[in-house]
Amino acid sequence: MTKPSFTFTATAEPTIEQLAYMVAHLHSDDHARLISLIASITQGADYEEAMQLQYITDDAALTDAGRRLMSQIGAYALPTPEAQ
């Protein structure tokens, strides 16, 4: 699979569709780094991560498919019995 390539200038930001496409095509190690970076960025922010997740789940833009994906991420993020 070829990684998507996008060219951004200093004045242009990716659309939400471009960003979603890029994230969906990340390899597992990059997904893990992305989630870890988001966690480190939100630490010490003016809001709790749980509150941001609540805002997301309350938003009408979240589809059933998006809600299922969030649920799957949560389920897979739980430690395995071997790791405990």
Please report, for the chain, the start and end positions of each structural domain, with discontinuous segments joined by +.
47-76
Query: Whole-model pTM above 0.95?
Result: no
Distance CA 58, CA 54 (A): 6
Say which residue the tokens 């998006």 belong to. Answer: 66
List, for residues 17-55, the tens digit of each pLDDT value.
Answer: 999 999 999 999 999 999 888 888 777 777 677 788 889
Q: Which two tokens stand for residue 58?
A: 């309350």
Distance CA 48, CA 27 (A): 28
Residue 34 confidence (pLDDT): 92
Q: Which two tokens stand for residue 54?
A: 């609540």
Residue 78 confidence (pLDDT): 82
